[in-house]
Amino acid sequence: MRILHTIRAWFLPQTGFLLSPAADVLFAGGFSLLTFLVLTFFVARDANIYTWAWAVYYAAFVINYPHFMASYKIMYDDVRPGFFAYRTHPIFTLRLWGAGVVVPLMLGAVFFYALKHEEVHLLSYLVSTMYVLVGWHYIKQIYGCVIVLSAAKSIRYSTIERLLILIPLYLLWGISFVSSHAYEMVSTYQGIPYAQMGIPHAFLIGGYWLFGCSTLVLIGVLGRRYLRTREYPPLSAIAAFCSIVVWYIPAIYHPFYFYIIPLFHSLQYLLFVAAYERNKVSSHDEEGVPTVHRRVHTYLTVVPTLLFIGVPSVVIGMTLWAHAGASMEYLFGVVIERFIQQGTVAGYGALLLLVVLECGISLARWGNKNPYGWYLHTLVTTIVLGIASFSMFPVLFDTLSQYAVLPGWFSYPNTVFGSTVYLFFFTVAINIHHYFIDTVIWKGDNPYVRKHLLQKALVTHA
């Protein structure tokens, strides 16, 4: 009975944890490490991966894509007042404008310039940029996990200790980058070619040695700290650090595991989003009104309007730019046929059901501070926006472009770019923009997120 009580307590909220002892460990890296062990010892590396790849693709709609959309929600909704807080937070406001406005404008400018002038190599630069930045993004998230999960337990690291945590993480990034560019060749990403550099193997060997040495130094310093203060990193922080090792070390590569690394990265991210949302909903603003009241109208109005009024309006509006001789009936017939082939009609219906569910949750939770209802509301919102951004909108614009419905430089020739260039751009641009957003919203100088991320006044379940 005592064991069951202990297990139950491990899954309940406690002071010193973002969500609970179990959630912190499992989401920060525990699930990742357990899955790695199972795949490594029980799944052959040369097994057929086709079914697995499709399963991972569909899982992305409820795990990976929502983690991208959660960063947009925080940036443009929760942190929105910061764009105009130049008197109280001038540096933070400047960084907000850079990540929130300048970066997406630059990405859009590169993309549409490439379409207009048929410069495929410009799009290949976007792929290379994404692959360079994704490694930086992953290791910085791991570093943030270690620091924040430790801070939840009131463990603070000195400047030297923080540097020693960062060094092996940056070396892992370097090892992964060198491994992915070990051969000089041209690869493709969603139909867009990009060059790999052919970095000599000696750099990979050197990276392994430096990583091993720096990790031993880190262990030694943290061991010395334990002997002096009896403080050590929490299990969740250790799990996060170990997870990046199995993600990035090429020597233990497993094709099945490689496919699901982005999902585990997203779960890790969603741990922080969930803690932030829970604490935000549990708190009250200056007027004593639950924060949920001020947010809920956004999702009840903007999302349905965007998806079910805006999209049909785009389709109708674009037909006005069609080439001469193309009748309205012909254009709509072609678009609907392409939508059916791409599964977009089914996706549109699924989105409608999700939005109805979202609105129902919102109405049911109106005036209710229960954070678990708000978790569900936030999850459904980000799933809806993820499907729209990574599937429905790209397929829509690719379809319209292929049949000369899009005007001027919004369309593109198949012979130069292939037939899915909008799908390519939405995917790459959201990834790159997400990396820049995270450098702003999860920093210590962000007063809007810092206020709710760590909340000490949690009920301890003994």
Question: Whole-angstrom Cα distance, residue 248 to residue 32?
Answer: 12
* pLDDT attached to residue 357: 62
Give the C-alpha distances (Å, rounded to integers) separating 122 from 99, 125, 406. Answer: 21, 5, 21
- For residues 67 and 77, the answer to whether their CB atoms sit within 8 Å is no
Q: How far apart are the first and last CA of the chain?
A: 14
The set of long-range contacts for 35-39, using a CB threshold of 8 Å and a minimum separation of 24, is 35/257, 35/260, 35/264, 36/246, 36/254, 36/257, 39/254, 39/256, 39/257
pTM over 0.95: no
Q: Tell me the CA distances in angstroms from 93 to 87, 104, 418, one per residue in order.
A: 9, 16, 40
- List the one residue out of 135, 120, 262, 248 whose CA is nearest residue 194: 120
Long-range contacts of 213-220 (CB under 8 A, 24+ apart): 214/164, 214/167, 214/168, 214/171, 215/168, 217/164, 218/164, 218/165, 218/167, 218/168
Distances (CA, A) of 22 to 32, 245, 435, 446, 452: 14, 21, 28, 28, 21
Nearest-angstrom CA–CA distance, 405 and 399: 9
Nearest one of 281, 263, 28, 249 to 152, comparing CA atoms: 28
CA nearest to 153, candidates 23, 29, 24: 24
Which residue reads 């009241």 in tokens?
Answer: 293
Confidence at residue 260, expressed as pLDDT on a 0 to 100 scale: 92
The per-residue pLDDT for 419 is 74
pLDDT value of position 257: 93
Contact 237, 28 (CB under 8 A): yes
- Are 285 and 291 contacting, i.e. CB atoms less than 8 angstroms apart? yes
How far apart, in Å, are the Cα atoms of 157 and each of 29, 86, 222, 232, 446?
Answer: 21, 31, 10, 10, 20
Mean pLDDT per block of 10 residues along the chain (462 residues) reads 69 80 91 92 87 85 90 88 86 92 93 87 90 92 94 90 95 90 80 82 90 94 92 93 93 89 94 85 50 46 52 54 52 55 52 60 53 69 82 79 69 73 92 94 84 55 30
Please give the Cα distance from 219 to 245 (Å, whole number): 15
Helix H or strand E segment including 188: strand 186-189
Position 348 scores a pLDDT of: 54
Q: Note whether 365 and 268 are within 8 A (CB).
A: no
Q: How far apart are CA 392 and CA 61, in angstroms?
A: 12
Give the rounded distance of the alpha carbon of 319 from its chain centre: 34
For 103, the token pair is 């970066």
Q: Over the stretch 215-264, which tens digit does the pLDDT of each residue have? A: 999 999 999 999 999 888 999 999 999 999 999 998 888 889 999 999 99
Alpha-carbon distances, residue 135 vs 138, 139, 197, 259, 424 (angstroms):
5, 6, 16, 15, 19
CA distance 435 to 168: 20
pLDDT of residue 456: 45
SS3 content of the chain, % helix, strand, coil (to 5): 75, 0, 20
Which CB contacts under 8 angstroms, 24+ apart, belong to 407-416? 407/318, 407/321, 408/116, 408/321, 409/112, 409/115, 409/116, 410/112, 410/115, 411/115, 412/115, 412/118, 413/118, 416/118, 416/120
Q: Each residue of 182-197: pLDDT tens digit?
A: 777 788 888 888 888 7
* Dist. CA 334–CA 174, nearest whole Å: 47
Least Cα distance to 299 among 366, 211, 359, 365 occurs for 359
